[in-house]
Amino acid sequence: MKKVIIPLILIATSIQAWAGIEHLMPKVKQIKAIESTSFSLNREVTLIDPTHNIALKKTLKENGLTPGKNGAEIRIEIVKEIPGAFNHSVNGYPDEAYSISISSDHILIQALTPMGVTRAAQTIAQLALDTNALTGVEIIDWPSFKVRGFMHDTGRSFLPVEELKREIDILSSFKVNTFHWHLTDYTGWRLEIKAYPQLTEQGITRFPGMYYTQADAKEIQNYAAERGMTVIPEIDMPGHSHPFEIAMGHSMQTPQGTAELKVILDEVCSIFDKTPYIHIGGDEISFPDSYIIDMINHVHSLGKKVIIWNQYNANPAKKVDPAVIPCDMTTNWATSGRLSKGIPNIDMRYNYTNHFDVFADLVGIYKSSIFESQQGSDDIAGTISAAWCDTYTPTPDDIVRQNNFYANVLASAERAWIGGGEQYIEAGGVTLPSSGPEFEDFSDWERRFLYHKNTTMSKASHQIPYVKQSNVRWYITDQIPNNGNASAYLAPEQYIDTDTTPSSFTINGVKYGVNMVTGAGIYLRHIWHPIVKGFYDNPQNNMTAYAWTYVHSPKDQDCGALIEFYTYSRSGNEKAPSAGQWDRRGSRVWLNGNEIPAPKWKQPDATITQDHDTKGLTNENFTARKPVNLHLKKGWNKLFIKLPHVDNGGTARDKWQFTFVLTDTDGVNALDNITYSPTRSLDDTTVK
């Protein structure tokens, strides 16, 4: 039979026999589709599996493949080599390479380890979506990086057991293999310690009474393990230890506190008997090296390996030197983290999703390489997407939605699986190109993610604010001086409601042009500028930018709009918008010449304080409120946005940005029958 090679960047096909291939996430390394061949589901099969793989049994059961002897066979073989597969060594993480061969009555899975069989089962589960037969294929696949994970700060942002299990179930189906479980922090000690019950009785000030019993923790660990995911618990020490001090009456660095921590670690290692690693923190507070060395040696004596933060200690210039600090791995701490040679590093530097907007930051993390490397090495283990919630975020759904959790984790995890990335985010920034390989690569990921939003992730779709943005195009002006007056009326504003808008403006003898940009979320100045670039290379104060596009609608229709001009991080002290204003800078937006009013804020001008126990974010972010109701007329509609940048306006961070995308009236999906074009062109072939 003819074998058709599908390239790494999978392209959707209308051929029914290839159903499922175009939706695989993460993309597989090598795949050949065999035309006119398929393996029927919902029938009896003979399963020959010496590994007794739980994930495979689950996949077969969910697709009606029951034990029997009718000639169809599924065979598992543990082999010594998968031709062409790459592997790098990370202690506790087995080789995940696998191959799959599917014909009409036979499926052969080969893998080097049982974990490879689990990964093959997860691929088969995706191939089986929305079909009664698996496409005939030959697949060879392996990850470029060993660690592909997510982190929850449940010390501050408690999530129920069932919520964590749902996340593990969904994310593991996309080969996410690590859950970094941050169990203690400033507002809560969340893990039951039988030797010191006061830790959960007295050491929780936010969401009091909410913690994980040891049975809960073991249930989560075992649930994850069945799905090929490792849980790495973190007991933060000696910093972030306010709950410990409340409950125990002394510091972790006292002799008594050190002795108690060793008892705690004894219980933690006993609970998490399937994990190779315990994370013990080690950041943001000064301590002698001897302290952390003593704790590391104790964990080692219990048969576990140790992870600490880098930069560890209170000195942001201090790297983890494995010749001095005998830990086994390090997680890199935000923008100040630096690669430590001689030890596996997990790159989390620009993966702190608590600072992310929904749209632009996702682009930046997907198109970035991991620590400037194309694949893993002895020094680079992979990446983890970290959802910190230092600021009170009221419900589990808010925690997940406002951090755009699923999209961020899966964009990061696919990059870790497929490797590559044209450049590191420090060079590449967060702006989506309007064409070229990075645009095609991202729009293909977006297509596959949105397919799975409504299939694999349907149980969590209400928590996913991300909608299609790769077809949203704008013109944005150069920065125009406003002399420190955010409300200054400048030349572009005379075109708020016109059918055409000039591509340049001459003001006081200076010419200001426009440039096209793609995306629903645009940073003019990124939160981490100048390290991470936004749209402007050199954003200035006392400037105003203008953005506009035209939207063609085939009919008069009501719709929703996701609108935002300042993304409130889920950490850090902030100031809420004033009543009647979109933000604290004076941003404004018009549709067809009619100004779109700002939402009614629940706490206008409020001071939003990090680590407060009961007060924090409400409806400041669009992810926490209903979409704006708008009406499109048939034909062309004009969107026009004014973006002053005078100062921070009282907010803690100097972000200069906007978010705008049209959706259905519920805000669930992007409006799918419209065209965005700043040139009013329906023939623009770059608009998909």
| CATH of region 3-141, choose from 3.30.379.10, 3.30.70.370, 3.40.190.10, 1.10.3720.10 | 3.30.379.10
Instruction: Tell me yes or no: is domain 147-441 CATH 3.30.9.10.
Output: no
- Spell out the residues 6+ positions from residue 70 whose beta carbon is closer than 8 angstroms to its own: 43, 44, 45
Question: What mean pLDDT comes out for the span 480-484?
Answer: 97
Distance CA 529, CA 506 (A): 28
Distance CA 372, CA 380 (A): 10
Q: In this structure, what token pair is assigned to residue 64?
A: 């009606």
Side chain identity at residue 57, one-letter code: K
- Spell out the residues 6+ positions from residue 200 whose beta carbon is closer than 8 angstroms to its own: 189, 190, 191, 192, 193, 211
Q: Say if residue 221's pLDDT is above 80.
A: yes
Distance CA 123, CA 173 (A): 8
Residue 518 in contact with residue 434, Cβ under 8 Å?
A: yes
Residue 113 in contact with residue 95, Cβ under 8 Å?
A: yes
Question: What mean pLDDT comes out for the span 357-365?
Answer: 98
Mean pLDDT of the chain: 94
pLDDT of residue 20: 77
Write down the number of H helices and E strands in the chain.
Answer: 13, 33
Q: Say if residue 583's pLDDT is above 70.
A: yes
Q: How far does CA 469 lie from the centroid of its chain?
A: 16
pLDDT of residue 312: 81
What is the number of residues in the chain? 688
Peptide bond into 530 cis (omega under 30): yes
Residue 318 in contact with residue 337, Cβ under 8 Å?
A: no
Residue 573 in contact with residue 607, Cβ under 8 Å?
A: yes
pLDDT of residue 13: 34
As beta bridge partners, residue 659 has: 521, 564
CB atoms within 10 A of CB 205: 17
pLDDT of residue 317: 62
CB atoms within 10 A of CB 208: 16
- Spell out the residues 6+ positions from residue 395 whose beta carbon is closer than 8 angstroms to its own: none
Residue 660 in contact with residue 627, Cβ under 8 Å?
A: no
pLDDT of residue 601: 98
Residue 585 in contact with residue 598, Cβ under 8 Å?
A: no
Question: What mean pLDDT comes out for the span 482-494?
Answer: 97
358 closest CA partner among 42, 663, 27: 663
Q: Say if residue 316's pLDDT is above 90.
A: no
pLDDT tens per residue, range 377-393: 999 999 999 999 999 99
pLDDT tens per residue, range 96-138: 999 999 999 999 999 999 999 999 999 999 999 999 999 999 9
Distance CA 224, CA 218 (A): 10
Between 114-127 and 54-62, two packed helices, what is the crossing angle to 10 degrees?
20
Residue 10's pLDDT band (cuts 50, 70, 90): very low
Q: Say if residue 66's pLDDT is above 80.
A: yes
CB atoms within 10 A of CB 372: 15
Question: What mean pLDDT comes out for the span 58-65?
Answer: 97
Q: Say if residue 59's pLDDT is above 90.
A: yes
pLDDT of residue 9: 36
Q: Say if residue 12's pLDDT is above 90.
A: no
- Spell out the residues 6+ positions from residue 446 whose beta carbon is closer than 8 angstroms to its own: 468, 469, 470
As beta bridge partners, residue 4 has: 33
With residue 110 as reference, give the H or E element that holds it: strand 106-111
Going along 409-556, which residue ranges are E strands? 473-477, 480-481, 504-507, 510-518, 521-525, 543-553
pLDDT of residue 649: 82
pLDDT of residue 313: 78
Q: How far does CA 141 lie from the centroid of its chain?
A: 23
pLDDT of residue 684: 59
pTM above 0.85, yes or no: yes
Distance CA 360, CA 685 (A): 23
As beta bridge partners, residue 223 has: none
pLDDT of residue 170: 98
CB atoms within 10 A of CB 198: 14
- What angle is formed at CA 404 by the lines to CA 403 and CA 409, rounded to 5 degrees? 100
As beta bridge partners, residue 477 has: 514
Side chain identity at residue 423, one-letter code: Q
With residue 136 as reference, give the H or E element that holds it: strand 133-141
pLDDT tens per residue, range 587-621: 999 999 999 999 999 999 999 999 999 999 999 99
Side chain identity at residue 277, one-letter code: Y
Share of the chain above pLDDT 90, in %: 91
Question: What mean pLDDT comes out for the span 356-383?
Answer: 97
Q: Say if residue 219's pLDDT is above 50.
A: yes
* Phi and psi torsions of 89, nearest 5°: -90, 125
Cα first-last separation, the chain: 34
CA dist 665 → 89, 294, 457, 628 (Å): 49, 58, 21, 8
pLDDT of residue 687: 43
Peptide bond into 311 cis (omega under 30): yes
Residue 115 in contact with residue 20, Cβ under 8 Å?
A: no
pLDDT of residue 311: 77
